[in-house]
Amino acid sequence: MHHRKHRAAAAAVGALSLAILAAPLAARAADTLPNPGVDRSLATRDDTVVKVRRSSKKAPVEIGGYAVSGALAYAFGKKAEFLYVPPVIKAKPGEALRFKLVNEIDAPPSNVTAAELEGEQMMVPTDLNMHTHGLITSPCSGKKQGDNIFLTIQSGALAKQSDGHSGHGGHAGHGAHAGHGAHAGHGAVAAADGDIEPQAKSECGKSQLVTLKGSADYRIGVKDNGQSGMFWFHPHIHGFSQKMVNAGLSGGIQIGSLCDGKHLLPSDQERLCKNGSPQIRERFMLLKDVQLTKIDEKAKIAELRPYDIFVNCSGQGKPIDYSKVKGGCQIDGTAGKDTDLWLFLVNGARYPTVEMKAGAQEIWRIANIGANASYDLVLLDEDGNKTDFQVINIDGNYVAKSVTKGSLLMMPGTRADIVVSSGRIDGKGKLQPFKKDKTFQFVQRQVLSGTSTYPAVALAKVVMKGDPQAKATEVAEFGLDPATAEARIATLMADDAVGPVGKKHKRPEACKNKKGLGNPTVVFKDGTVMGPDEDHSQSSGQTAVIPLRFGNSPNFDKFFINTNGQGAKAFDMDRINLCIEKGSTVRFEVENSSPIFHNLHIHQSRFIVEKVKYETGGPDERPNRVMAGFFKDVKAGGEMVPVERDTAPLPASGKVVVKVKFPEQGRFVYHCHILIHEDLGMMQVAEVFASEE
């Protein structure tokens, strides 16, 4: 709906400028970046319904200007339109997201292949749940569902179908029954076919493995814990995470505001905020990529393509000609009437125009809410030179001091708020507006990792308006005063106090797996580490250090995480790998033994990157080239401006040390956020238990 409204507005502007023939040329350039808008209903009402449906030829969903069938889309509200980019869910710290998530997926999206349907999958491509990425919230909240990725909501639409045709083959029967069987075997709640199962309990300390049919009622608390900025949501069904996200299921969440009074210098607060609202333009830039096939350019119709990470794109010659890759590229070898496209969209739009006023500063709230693609973002001027911007927020955490950067690596799941200035910042720190209009390209540069290539694409055209009369303006600093900033940084870098040396612990009941699965490593608040083969241990008096190793099988068909030496077994939902006392701080020494990069993500927590080690030469030079832009601020054992984050790149054959706090009780996962890797097993289970006192 937002897109359509916007297009109508753009058309109106076009007609107007034709009518006024004397209008200067510049007046015709219009801003075409759609605004997904915000939705407050999940945080303010009790009866919001979030539906998921598969699009069809009769009821397609609009993606990048095409009416696409076989995709998946969300609708907020009983009668709302299904959208590829739903409105951004907006909540204030202290509120809770309450909604009924309704699974109306009548058949798998068209990016799921027949082979995958035939394969023995524990989960099925029509199952659903919702993960609120980055929110530090309980995975279990009483009778309603929290941020519980062990929840499976089976399709209500399929249940009805399989009722009518029991024993009938095809997608419906196959999908529903495969999933059902797998869950029953795991001891979860078995629902009768066709029934809408009443809400099952998901309490902390009990199994979070819950299967519901048709829908689930959610209550996801948004804590007042300093988190403020961009977050996002997507289904988290192991085995099909990347297919579901690639089929369209992801959206943004905005928590708090720049003007909360906690993120700016008082002078900037006064200048940039009025009545708690930012007076500076803020734009969402939600990045999603999608592959389309069976494209009819005349009718603007297409079908979702089975996502292939290994395809090559046209227009990738050296140097890259960005005029040939506007908003995406043709997938090589598909030329002809069915030229397949790999689109890289901003708020669902292909290569929109962003128009900035002369001398204005804008905040771009960028979120990579795609499944697999990594972005190396730059803003290029007409001569191809990079333009600096300021990074003010990473993964929903405002930085104490803004960081000036010329490029930004954003792996899947990462968010960053950047300040872009329309003009030139002079030697005195003043913003000098351009005299004439200037055109820039907002570009993702080519990213190479192993055999996969994320193509170079011009994401948006950026027009900075010129004004020969405009005067220089002050540039906002975006940060805290130096003393407060230093104090905050010192707090972030300091280790929490741990208990004395020699305190004895025995294995808590919560940290035992079923027979045959082996026990997890246990971490206690006082720094004690208990190995998987131990049942007793003593505190060391130091913050717990746990080695994590990310790796893959030689032919890249299996990916894994090895926690504290615990063998490289495939991911098992039933097996806890790491058991942590609530409130503990853990230092993970993460080693990436892969020749490709990965992206660390830990649910229900945030962390500081303390150290990083990687080579840019030799065989790993290609993947690690992009790391330079990301880690250039890391010096002497820490990020120059440390910030809590929930994603961190793991350079190929490199090491990263992160310090993590675990404030939430319950069961969740840590994994690579390149979702195709997660689906292939690069994930483990963490259980946070309450102190046994």
DSSP β-ladder status, 544-552 and 559-563: antiparallel
Minimum CB separation of residue 680 from Cu ion in Å reads 9
CB of residue 203 vs Cu ion: minimum separation in angstroms?
A: 32
Applying CB under 5 A, which part among 155-163, 326-334, 439-447, 665-673 lies near Cu ion?
665-673
Cα–Cα dist 372/44, whole Å:
33
Min dist. Cβ of residue 671 to Cu ion (A): 8
Q: What is the spatial distance between Cα 361 and Cα 571, in angstroms, rounded to a whole number?
A: 46
Least gap, CB of 29 to Cu ion (angstroms): 40
Residue with smaller CB distance to Cu ion, 331 or 672: 672
> Which residue's CB is nearer to Cu ion, number 73 or number 674?
674
* CA 234 – CA 369 distance, rounded (Å): 8
674 near Cu ion (CB under 5 A): yes
219 vs 625, which CB is nearer to Cu ion? Answer: 625
Footprint on residues 187-216 left by Cu ion (CB under 5 A): none
Cβ distance to Cu ion smaller for residue 124 or 680: 680
Answer yes or no: are the C-beta atoms of 422 and 354 closer than 8 Å.
no
- Within positions 17 to 76, which residues make up the interface with Cu ion, using CB under 5 A? none
Instruction: Tell me whether residue 90 or residue 677 sits nearer to Cu ion (CB atom).
Output: 677
Closer to Cu ion by Cβ: residue 54 or 598: 598
- Letter for the amino acid at 347? N
Which of 265/672 has CB closer to Cu ion?
672
Q: Residue 274: count other Cβ atoms within 10 Å of its Cβ.
A: 10
Radius of gyration of the chain (CA): 25
Q: Of these, 110, 677, 680, 683, which contacts Cu ion (CB under 5 A)?
A: 677
Closer to Cu ion by Cβ: residue 133 or 677: 677
- Residue 357 CB: number of other CB atoms within 10 A? 15
Selected range binding Cu ion among 81-89, 390-398, 436-444, 671-679, rule: CB under 5 A: 671-679
| Residues contacting residue 174 through CB under 8 Å, at least 6 positions apart | 117
Q: Which stretch binds Cu ion (CB under 5 A): 330-338, 372-380, 523-531, 670-678?
A: 670-678
Q: Could you say which residues in the range 588-647 bind Cu ion, by CB under 5 A?
A: 598
Closer residue to Cu ion (CB): 85 or 680: 680
The H or E element spanning position 492 is: helix 482-493
Q: How many CA atoms lie within 13 A of 183 on its CB side?
A: 28
Q: Note the Cα 133 to chain centre separation in Å.
A: 6
Query: Taking the complex as a whole, how short is the minimal distance between the CB of residue 574 and Cu ion, in angstroms?
Result: 23
Contact 162, 175 (CB under 8 A): no
Give the number of C-alpha atoms closer than 13 A to the C-alpha of residue 391, restricted to the C-beta side.
27
Cα three-residue angle 302-304-307, rounded to 5 degrees: 140
Point out which span in 180-188, 426-434, 472-480, 664-672 binds Cu ion (CB under 5 A). Answer: 664-672
171 vs 677 by CB, closer to Cu ion:
677
CB of 672 to Cu ion, least distance (A): 3
Region binding Cu ion by CB under 5 A among candidate stretches 33-41, 464-472, 632-640, 669-677 = 669-677
Rounded Cα gap, residues 284 and 536, in angstroms: 51
Cβ partners under 8 Å of residue 579, min gap 6: 508, 510, 511, 520, 521, 522, 523, 686, 687, 688, 689
Tokens standing for residue 684:
């483990």
304 binds Cu ion (CB under 5 A): no
Nearest to 540 by CA among 595, 495, 582, 479: 495
What whole-number distance in Å separates Cα of residue 366 and Cα of residue 355?
Answer: 17
User: Rounded to the nearest whole angstrom, what is the least distance from the CB of residue 597 to Cu ion in the complex?
Assistant: 7
The minimum distance between CB 568 and Cu ion, in angstroms, equals 14
* 270, two tokens: 């006064």
d(CA 50, CA 42): 9
- For 19, the enclosing helix (H) or strand (E) is helix 2-19
Cβ 560 to Cu ion, closest distance in Å? Answer: 10
User: Applying CB under 5 A, which of residues 124, 410, 672, 683 lies at the interface with Cu ion?
Assistant: 672
**Closer Cβ to Cu ion, 283 or 625, answer by number:** 625
Alpha helical stretches, state H, 597-643 = 621-624, 627-631
By CB under 5 A, what part of segment 279-298 binds Cu ion?
none
Identify the CA nearest to 687 among candidates 584, 540, 618. 584
590, 684 Cβ separation under 8 angstroms: no
Distance, in Å, from the CA atom of 561 to the CA atom of 541, rounded to the nearest integer, reads 27
Candidates 290-298, 505-513, 639-647, 666-674; binding stretch for Cu ion (CB under 5 A): 666-674
Q: Which is nearer to Cu ion, 597 or 631 (CB)?
A: 597
User: How near is the Cβ of 267 to Cu ion at its closest, in Å?
Assistant: 43
Per CB under 5 A, 561 contacts Cu ion: no
- What lies within 8 Å, CB to CB, of 25 at 6+ separation is none
Q: How far is the CB of 290 from Cu ion (least distance, A)?
A: 20
Q: Which lies closer to Cu ion via its Cβ, residue 54 or residue 677?
A: 677
Minimum Å gap between C-beta 398 and Cu ion is 28
Least distance CB 288 / Cu ion (angstroms): 19
The size of the interface with Cu ion (CB under 5 A), counted in residues, is: 4
Residues 6+ apart with CB under 8 A from 109: 54, 70, 71, 72, 125, 243, 244, 247, 248, 304
Q: Which is nearer to Cu ion, 180 or 677 (CB)?
A: 677
In the complex, minimum distance from the CB of residue 49 to Cu ion, in angstroms, rounded to a whole number: 34
User: Which residue lies nearer to Cu ion by CB, 39 or 678?
Assistant: 678
* C-alpha distance from residue 94 to each of 259, 305, 485 (Å): 16, 41, 25
If the CB atoms of residues 415 and 677 are measured against Cu ion, the closer one turns out to be 677
Give the DSSP letter of residue 630: H
- Interaction residues for Cu ion, span 528-547 (CB under 5 A): none
Please, what is the minimum distance in Å from the beta carbon of residue 650 to Cu ion?
8
Q: Tell me whether the omega of the peptide bond preceding residue 108 falls within 30 degrees of 0, making it cis.
A: no
Euclidean distance between CA atoms 266 and 646, whole angstroms? 28
| Residue 598 beta carbon to Cu ion: minimum distance, rounded to whole angstroms | 3
Map tokens 């009769």 to a residue. 58
Sites of contact with Cu ion (CB under 5 A): 598, 672, 674, 677
